[in-house]
Chain A
């Protein structure tokens, strides 16, 4: 007792005040750690986004050269037979483009060194560009037209400033002569950065300037379609069973634990499953977006089941009782009341699942979607890639032009995710119901 009275005195003395100040300092420090943690996360986020945007925005522009190309009959269709498709297909279009370039630059077509330097200004993809023009409209054979042709990766890099003009000529990817030509073309307005539609429509290419996301976008679309068609019905049905029917006991406990664990299984393991089961056992083709879709379906199923169950659980018992009370069967109760009322929640969960599936890469590597696919896939069984896989492939490429493309593709992917997430938030806010 006396002991405690003595200690009470120490509440007020100078010593106690000091102790108290120390405690308050600790308090402020602790609080500062919390603020610092959040600021750290925020700063990292800002850093990540700015670095990707600053690298990637230029991918949406691509340098082109305007050249008056003469679609010479002699080169394209020497036989004069307009039905000789093979001849037209195999014609030497590069020659046409180069001839136009020499004329435009006013250089001597006989000097091989000069010619070689000049050739490097044009992309290696110009032949496809010109060929497609002719195949689309054979009547231009024999005419001369102004065409915006893709410039080479190096010329593009110079215009975008990623090649430093101050570097000595011999250590620069474009030599002084080429720089002079480029400046000449730019001054005349014959060379400029234009919006890069190729990024969205082209297939795979080993030249950065002609590589695009076309195949990847279609592949991702097919995969998302598969996920929507399979994962959503399966997930909703499973959630309905677990919430409405499953007797509480061992079986439903097992399923529940199972679903929770499945949601945390590394995605790459799903890839192994896809490889072993869908490709090896069922013999589905490798690289097919259907297989990708199936794997992503299994992967997103837990997410959809968990969110749908939460949405179903939010429907109040009073509504169930009211419906059962007027003689509705359980199925009718579900069809007429539970599903419509939980629909917004199900939709939100579906979008979250899709977002997860759209950004997933690792399992797709396992099932061979890292493929060099030039042609558009027309069915889900054709070889395809996906948006994140394309990013992975470009990120592993060495050429400078691909770094910009990778960042650009990342921006496209992020844009999709942001749109989908905003949609989910909008739906949640619009339809959220408080019981």
Chain B
């Protein structure tokens, strides 16, 4: 198996690898293929931010996107639930499929898509509403709960899954903005999983948190991946190593290499990856 990897250079932009390679190489148990992005190019106005990115994201696992600042990893993540649509000057080309379905197809409604592909942001951004209302926001939007009892249950389950229930169950009416940073971020996670999305995108979810809160979130991610497909952008290589099964390394808008996390950190095939994970730049 090792030899096989040697034969074939790492998956790079110049030489995209076949997906089955990862199947073979995966030591961790990966779920079915969830998202497949092919030749994604993206422009902000005149400036091109992504160049021919090819990446696959699998269910029941965590895929980490790492790379130096401005390498396009966050931008790519935001393509996956069409958050970039909000920016006028942003133009996306390429093919991104969720369960084999082109998410940029004209008949796909980004509103519906985003309910299936949830997102957690860099800075905790609870709405200036109560904790309960924060979690109930999305189910209410999509009209998922007919009765108050159902809504209560959804809120409770989501908060339990986000590991926040015990801390806030007595003060669900308190404003979400009054929680601590780590709690706020878990509230945002609860909010995102309240509609039971299939994919959860996390854009540096711990960068604004202290180490203890970070550890809590990482444990949470580990639990959540049992039922979810998670893609996480992170600045911290330790975090990528801790939480992810697969890691993709971005550099200057290009996907340099994607592989099992252990492989990326111990035996990367590209020199740039090597330099980055050993701390020589970035």
Contact = CB atoms under 8 A, between A and B. Distances in A.
B201 interface: no
Given A20-B109, A20-B112, A5 B196 contact: yes
Contacts of B143: 10, 19
Contact of A7 (B112, B116, B145): B145
Interface size classification for chain A? 10 to 19
A11 interface: yes
A49 B146 CA distance: 53
Given A11-B112, A11-B116, A20-B112, A3 B157 contact: yes
Contacts of A1: 157
Contact of B139 (A5, A7, A19): A7
B111 A4 contact: no
Interface string A321-355: 00000000000000000000000000000000000
Helix, strand, loop or mixed for chain B's interface? helix
A1 B158 CA distance: 9
Chain B CB count within 10 A is highest, among A4, A5, A23, for: A4
A379 to B, nearest CB: 59
B144 interface: yes
Contacts of B154: 3-4, 7
A4 B139 CA distance: 10
What are the nearest 6 A-B pairs in CB distance?
Answer: A7-B144, A4-B196, A8-B196, A19-B143, A3-B153, A20-B112
Interface string A13-31: 0000001100110000000
A7 B111 contact: no
Interface residues of B, number: 17
Interface of A: 1, 3-5, 7-8, 10-11, 19-20, 23-24
A7 B196 contact: yes
Contacts of A24: 109, 111
Contacts of A8: 195-196
A11 B153 contact: no
B144 A10 contact: yes
Given A11-B112, A20-B111, 14 more contacts: A3-B150, A3-B154, A3-B157, A7-B139, A7-B144, A7-B154, A8-B195, A8-B196, A10-B143, A11-B116, A19-B142, A19-B143, A23-B111, A23-B141
B115 interface: yes
Nearest to A12: B112
A3 B196 CA distance: 10
A4 B138 CA distance: 13
Given A3-B150, A5-B196, A11 B157 contact: no
22 contacts: A1-B157, A3-B154, A4-B154, A4-B157, A5-B196, A7-B144, A7-B145, A7-B150, A7-B154, A7-B195, A7-B196, A8-B195, A10-B144, A11-B112, A11-B116, A11-B142, A19-B142, A20-B109, A20-B111, A20-B112, A24-B109, A24-B111
